[in-house]
Amino acid sequence: MDILSQLFAGLSLGSVLLLAALGLALTFGQMGVINMAHGEFMMAGAYTAFVVQGVVSGAGVSLLVALPLGFVVGGLLGLLLEATLIHRMYARPLDTLLVTWGVALVLQQVARDVFGAPNVDVSAPTWLSGAVEIGGLALPRTRLFILGLAVACVVALTLLLRATPLGRRIRAVVQNRDLAESSGISSRTTDRITFFLGSGLAGIAGVALTLLGSVGPTLGTSYIVDAFLVVVAGGIGQIKGTVVAALSLGMMQAFFEYSTTASVAKVLVFVAVVAFLQVRPQGLVSARTRSLA
Amino acid sequence: MTVLDKLLAPGRPRVLLGFALAAVLLLAVAPVVLSPFRLGLLGKFLCLAMVAVGIGLAWGRGGLLTLGQGVYFGLGAYIMAMHLKLADAGPDGVPDFMLLYGTGEVPAWWEPMRSPGLALLLIVLVPAALAGLLGWAVFTRRVRGAYFAILSQALAAAFAILLIGQQQTTGGTNGLNGFRGFFGYDLSDPANQRMLYLIAAVVLLVMVAVVRQLTVSRFGELLVAVRDGEDRVRFLGYDPAAVKTVAYVVAAVMAAIGGALFVPIVGIISPADVGVVPSIGFLIGVAIGGRASLLGPVLGSIAVSWAQTSISEQFPSGWIYFQGALFIGVVAFLPGGLASLATRRRRRATSDDDGPDDPAARPAPQPAPEGSTP
Amino acid sequence: MRHRPTSRPAARLAVTSLAALSVLSLAACGAQVDSPQTEGSASAAGSCVDTSGDSVKVGFLNSLSGTMAISEQTVHDSLQLAAAEINADGGVLGKQLEIVTEDGQSEPTVFAEKATKLITSDCVAAVFGGWTSASRKAMLPVFESNDSLLFYPVQYEGLESSPNIFYTGATTNQQIVPALDYLAEQGVTSLFLVGSDYVFPRTANKIINAYAQAHGIEIVGEEYAPLGHTDFSTIVNKVKSADADAVFNTLNGDSNVAFFKEYTNAGLSAEDMPVLSVSIAEEEIGGIGVENVVGQLTAWNYYETVESPENAAFVEAFKAEYGQDRPTSDPMEAAYTSLYLWREMVEKAESFAVADVQEAADGVTYDAPEGTVVVDGDNHHISKTSLVGKIGDDGLIHTEWSSEEPIEPDPYLEGYDWADGLS
């Protein structure tokens, strides 16, 4: 029974990591761009939920309104970032990391100045309070909801990439940018759309996180390092790798934490990722590319 | 203007002259002009600048974006702090915080730090060994670019968590502080504080000289070649992993020495100085000064530290916006840093340009190190 | 790839001159640790406090940026309020207070740096501020070596007393020990300890363990989360399966939000397993969400709901200055009190000099919003009444239990037999 509840804890943590990392994997895979402001897009999503809660009175529906709105807010922020800064820097992927870090700092301070330094509370709708009892095992509804949301996002993204013309274009650009360009795909437009999608996913993740923790200016920073580890361990170019990596990291964290302490668990997870990269330097799954880099 | 003209003239004398001028400013002018408090601050900035010198080599020259220099800074600092704590406690004594929070016994892995000589040796050896091991493991498997950056960042996060978690033996979030002596010298005596500042200044100058010698050597050429085309270097028969590892180790050792001197000058080391955020903070000065230039990282780092202190005195939240704007502005629009402005101007002025094609790839000393005294 | 020739003589010149300079610099060194004049040179800087004019400078050192700004801004606000009131009331010894504000940026090293600046460059008569143990530990040597005064307003882990620091928050025997007494009185026989991984929770739990052993309480679990930890499913799982009578919570800041949301979602509540927290004050409750903590317990020495004319005046003045929706809390009250206590000490000493203030401190009293407090001249703490409160659905904390009288500070727990060997 303890094992079962820990399994669920790991699965749940994995789904949180997956939500945080999914958009990151998309933008990183597409353009090799490390977006350090991804965590702040999550924060923006979370504050969106806070604002929506103030406008839409019924807590029952405000979450459902906040999810698409969070997607749009995160996405627009990402689009703005891409259009103003990142598109200048595709030749220098490492430098984007620092530039977006600067953006992250500014966004955090903006949140602090607009919403105040203290954390704010987003109350969960009543239909998500409490737990579902299955065979003596209590599964918190909020965690089930996040699990479902993560699955929905993965399914939606997979369908989009597999079954739509846009998805074909994105995949083509990921696999070989030059060839895609010469076959008439505008990589410029594709990049923008990808960035919008990836950042929008961050917004959704942010809304979901309000169910678990506090909403504050530094919300994103607590997830960003873990999310990056997921992306690195999962490899770029395919969602499959991200999913497996997120769930494995979540499971590892949960079980290490159960048998040792939360601090030691974090360190062990890091060691495991480094060791894993020794075996597979390109991550779990990596798209075959013809580039040398 | 005549001195400036001479400094701006291309060639080797200019480098030496600039170096000499910096030495005079740091060693002779600053101790006389600045109050003990400001001199102590400058000493702290010099320690942070040591980290920047190493980053300049690894990142600017070698293209290794290391987001985890706080780890090596912290290792050097903690080893030094452990030695000072043990020395304060006296022979066979137990540091005060262990009596309060720990078992009251000195753990075995602290014991080597009792000996002053061994402690100094470990300040260099431990970070070198860790950097060597990690660098070799990562670079031979051709983990590079963003992957390396993320791993180094996760290393910093893990290191800080580990330090915090071991409160009985590392002081936890409190870190180590309250040192009384420094190798027998009383730390509260202003004369000794001035001595510490001078040691930091000399060490920094030596580091700059070392990096200068490294960059004009064959190793320096190889490092730049690895940055600009790793595979070509490999095809030529060199081992890029070895070149990168050496650069990474040198950067780590410089960060560690900076950390070791930071401890007696500032009087405290805590996990807040070694985690993810301070590690990235080290980069901003390097980027602003000019990552690939010789003096750029040093001057940039000192200027940024100084700006942080003075801006935060006036506007508490202003510093964050300023820092963010610096990252965005400099890295996006001036990747060569301020040093590249000087290079560009000089290029326009003189036609006898004998440097390599890439402006970032050549040592570009600042026109005049006036920024070295904040 | 052209190989550059290096001119060796020039390099040698540089090295030689550097060596010469370093020898020169090392020759200019000062006192050694063992040398007899050490004591004298320790305070070589001397005091530069200027009391000749009609104003006197004091320093406020709080984190106005960084992760701790959430909490420390509130302390800063109440310090400003106290200063404004004192100035309107004629100042201290007839001199108006001139406030020098510095930002600690939530970093211990910055606290040490800014404290040095306030003492040696701004020449303030006393400094008020600090929050985390790390910031206090970082500042302590600065205040001792410069022989200046710090007033520290937050409950802390005890085991410390410095002639240069006045502690106006609770030490362990005024907060944790009474809280345990209360729990024991309620018939609690097993406890689960949850805390953030840093000094205060570790030390608090050490004390709790010793107490529990002596009082027949079983500690069924002890878990620490890294600061800023956001996923508490595993820890809550452990708490739930341990099935203790109560949980003693020393989590800090954001972690409380994640912990209580998880706690509630896992189906645990104040009825079946109450959580007693020592770091949740009124201003945090809004961020956690009242519905997640309603009915849970806290241990402090002051609540906004304390009924006294002094508190009514304090709350009214604070809300008038900063807004009706701003609650007052224990650290804010302790900070407010600290400035008034300093005034009482200075006026009793009739001097701003550090030695005179230290001399006069013993027995100084002040009718604070929490009740009358008395300064202990030996350990520089103050007597405080201990209050266990219950969080109401109005988001305020209401006193459930109070110690019969103010408890004398005992930072090293010397008056408790079971605490032998703790310090």
- Indicate yes or no: CB of C267 within 8 angstroms of CB of A130: yes
CB-CB neighbors (< 8 A) of B188 in chain C: 41-42, 44, 145
- Does residue B196 form part of some domain? yes
CATH assignment of the domain containing C203: 3.40.50.2300
B230 and chain C in contact, CB less than 8 A: no
Identify which of A117, A130, A140 has the shortest CB distance to residue C69: A117
Residues A48-67, mean pLDDT to the nearest whole number: 86
Question: Which residues of chain B are at the A interface, by a Cβ-Cβ cutoff of 8 Å?
Answer: 63, 65, 67, 134, 137-138, 141-143, 145-147, 149-151, 153-155, 157-158, 161-162, 164-165, 231, 276, 280, 283-284, 287, 317, 320-321, 323-328, 331-332, 335
Q: For residue C259, what pLDDT is reported? A: 93
C230 and chain A in contact, CB less than 8 A: yes
Please tell me whether residues C221 and C311 are part of one structural domain: no
Per-residue pLDDT of chain B (374 residues; tens, 9 = 90+): 444 444 444 556 677 888 888 899 999 999 999 999 999 999 999 999 999 999 999 999 999 999 999 999 999 999 999 999 999 998 888 898 888 777 788 999 999 999 999 999 999 999 999 999 999 988 988 877 888 888 898 889 889 988 988 888 898 888 999 898 999 898 888 899 999 999 999 999 999 999 999 999 999 999 999 999 888 999 988 999 999 999 999 999 999 999 999 999 999 999 999 988 899 999 989 998 998 888 899 999 999 999 988 887 777 678 888 889 988 998 888 888 888 887 776 666 654 444 333 444 333 333 333 333 33
Rounded-to-10 torsion of CA B139, B142, B147, B153? -10
Q: For residue B351, what pLDDT is reported? A: 44
CB-CB neighbors (< 8 A) of A262 in chain C: 197, 223-226, 229, 234-235
- Indicate yes or no: CB of C262 within 8 angstroms of CB of A212: yes
* Minimum distance, in Å, between the CA of residue A127 and any CA atom of chain B: 37
CB-CB neighbors (< 8 A) of B154 in chain A: 225, 228-229, 270, 273
- Does residue C100 form part of some domain? yes
CB-CB neighbors (< 8 A) of C231 in chain A: 13, 16, 212, 253
Q: What rounded mean pLDDT belongs to chain A?
A: 87
Residues A163-184, mean pLDDT to the nearest whole number: 85
Q: Which range, of A74-88, A212-226, B265-279, C266-280, averages the lowest pLDDT?
A: A212-226
Q: For residue B8, what pLDDT is reported? A: 45
Q: For residue B341, what pLDDT is reported? A: 81
- Rounded to whole angstroms, the Cα distance separating C66 from C64 reads 7
Please tell me whether residues C117 and C201 are part of one structural domain: no
Please tell me whether residues C407 and C370 are part of one structural domain: no
- Does residue B359 form part of some domain? no
CB-CB neighbors (< 8 A) of C105 in chain B: 312, 316, 319
- Indicate yes or no: CB of C265 within 8 angstroms of CB of A142: yes
Please tell me whether residues C244 and C113 are part of one structural domain: no
Please tell me whether residues C285 and C323 are part of one structural domain: no
Identify which of A101, A229, A263 has the shortest CB distance to residue B165: A263
- Indicate yes or no: CB of C257 within 8 angstroms of CB of A214: yes
- Does residue C380 form part of some domain? no
Residue of chain C nearest A255, judged by CA positions: C234
Identify which of B173, B180, B209 has the shortest CB distance to residue C199: B173
Evaluate whether B291 touches B337 at the Cβ level (below 8 Å): yes
For B:38-77, CB contacts with C below 8 A are 40-41, 44
- Does residue C381 form part of some domain? no
Please tell me whether residues C155 and C65 are part of one structural domain: yes
- Does residue B33 form part of some domain? yes
Residue B150 is part of which domain span?
20-274
Report the run of H or E that residue C61 belongs to, with start and end: strand C55-62
Whether residue A149 has pLDDT greater than 60:
yes
Please tell me whether residues C349 and C239 are part of one structural domain: no
Please tell me whether residues C296 and C312 are part of one structural domain: no
- Indicate yes or no: CB of C254 within 8 angstroms of CB of A218: yes
Residue of chain C nearest B180, judged by CA positions: C33
Greater pLDDT, B364 or A269: A269
Q: For residue C21, what pLDDT is reported? A: 55
* Minimum distance, in Å, between the CA of residue B142 and any CA atom of chain A: 7
pLDDT digits (tens, 9 = 90+) for A174-203: 777 788 888 888 888 888 999 999 999 999
* Minimum distance, in Å, between the CA of residue C298 and any CA atom of chain A: 19
Domain tally for chain C?
A: 2
- Indicate the SS3 state at residue A170: helix
Residue positions counted in chain B: 374
* Minimum distance, in Å, between the CA of residue A64 and any CA atom of chain C: 19
* Minimum distance, in Å, between the CA of residue C60 and any CA atom of chain A: 19
- Does residue C3 form part of some domain? no
- Does residue B206 form part of some domain? yes
| Buried b / exposed e along C151-172 (16+ C-beta atoms within 10 A) | bbbbbbbbbbbbbbbbbbbbbb
Please tell me whether residues C23 and C136 are part of one structural domain: yes
- Indicate yes or no: CB of B137 within 8 angstroms of CB of A281: no
Q: What rounded mean pLDDT belongs to chain B?
A: 85
Domain tally for chain B?
A: 1
Residue of chain A nearest C285, judged by CA positions: A121
* Minimum distance, in Å, between the CA of residue B244 and any CA atom of chain C: 18
- Does residue C1 form part of some domain? no
For B:85-124, CB contacts with C below 8 A are 99-101
Evaluate whether C124 touches B287 at the Cβ level (below 8 Å): no
Q: For residue B334, what pLDDT is reported? A: 87
- Rounded to whole angstroms, the Cα distance separating C342 from C356 reads 12
Please tell me whether residues C276 and C407 are part of one structural domain: yes
Residue of chain C nearest B14, judged by CA positions: C10
Q: For residue A284, what pLDDT is reported? A: 75
Identify which of B99, B198, B356 has the shortest CB distance to residue C25: B198
- Does residue C379 form part of some domain? no
Q: What is the pTM of this model?
A: 0.88
Residues lower than pLDDT 50 in chain C: 1-10, 36-45
Cross-strand bridge partners of residue C55: C96
- Indicate yes or no: CB of A34 within 8 angstroms of CB of B328: no
- Indicate yes or no: CB of C108 within 8 angstroms of CB of B19: no
Identify which of C225, C234, C267 has the shortest CB distance to residue A258: C234
Question: Which residues of chain A are at the B interface, by a Cβ-Cβ cutoff of 8 Å?
Answer: 28, 32, 34, 85, 88-89, 92-95, 97-99, 101-106, 108-109, 112-113, 221, 225, 228-229, 231-232, 261, 263-264, 266-267, 270-271, 273-274, 277-278, 281, 292-293
Q: For residue B357, what pLDDT is reported? A: 39
- Rounded to whole angstroms, the Cα distance separating C263 from B150 reads 33
Q: For residue A180, what pLDDT is reported? A: 84
- Rounded to whole angstroms, the Cα distance separating B74 from C389 reads 42
Q: For residue C3, what pLDDT is reported? A: 46
3-state SS string over chain B?
CHHHHHHHCCCHHHHHHHHHHHHHHHHHHHHHHCCHHHHHHHHHHHHHHHHHHHHHHHHHHCCCCCCCHHHHHHHHHHHHHHHHHHHHHCCCCCCHHHHHHCCCCCCHHHHHHHCHHHHHHHHHHHHHHHHHHHHHHHHHCCCCHHHHHHHHHHHHHHHHHHHHHCHHHHCHHHCEECCCEECCEECCCHHHHHHHHHHHHHHHHHHHHHHHHHHHCHHHHHHHHHHHHHHHHHHCCCCHHHHHHHHHHHHHHHHHHHHHHHHHHHCEECHHHCCHHHHHHHHHHHHHHCCCCCCHHHHHHHHHHHHHHHHHHHCCCHHHHHHHHHHHHHHHHCCCHHHHHHHHHHHHHCCCCCCCCCHHHCCCCCCCHHHHCC
Hey, what domains does chain A have and what are their CATH numbers?
Answer: 2-279 (1.10.3470)
Identify which of C10, C117, C224 has the shortest CB distance to residue B12: C10
Which class for A159: exposed (0-12), middle (13-18), buried (19 or more C-beta within 10 A)?
A: exposed
Confidence of residue A3 (pLDDT cuts 50, 70, 90): confident
Residue C358 is part of which domain span?
8-169+306-374
CB-CB neighbors (< 8 A) of B100 in chain C: 159, 203, 423
Report the run of H or E that residue C97 belongs to, with start and end: strand C96-103
Please tell me whether residues C88 and C136 are part of one structural domain: yes
- Indicate yes or no: CB of B173 within 8 angstroms of CB of C198: yes
Please tell me whether residues C164 and C188 are part of one structural domain: no
Cross-strand bridge partners of residue C99: C58
| Buried b / exposed e along C116-143 (16+ C-beta atoms within 10 A) | bbbbbebbbbbbbbbbbbbbbbbbbbbb
- Rounded to whole angstroms, the Cα distance separating B128 from A15 reads 38
For B:154-213, CB contacts with C below 8 A are 161, 164-165, 167, 172-175, 177-181, 184-186, 188-192, 194-195, 198-199, 201-202, 205-206, 209, 213
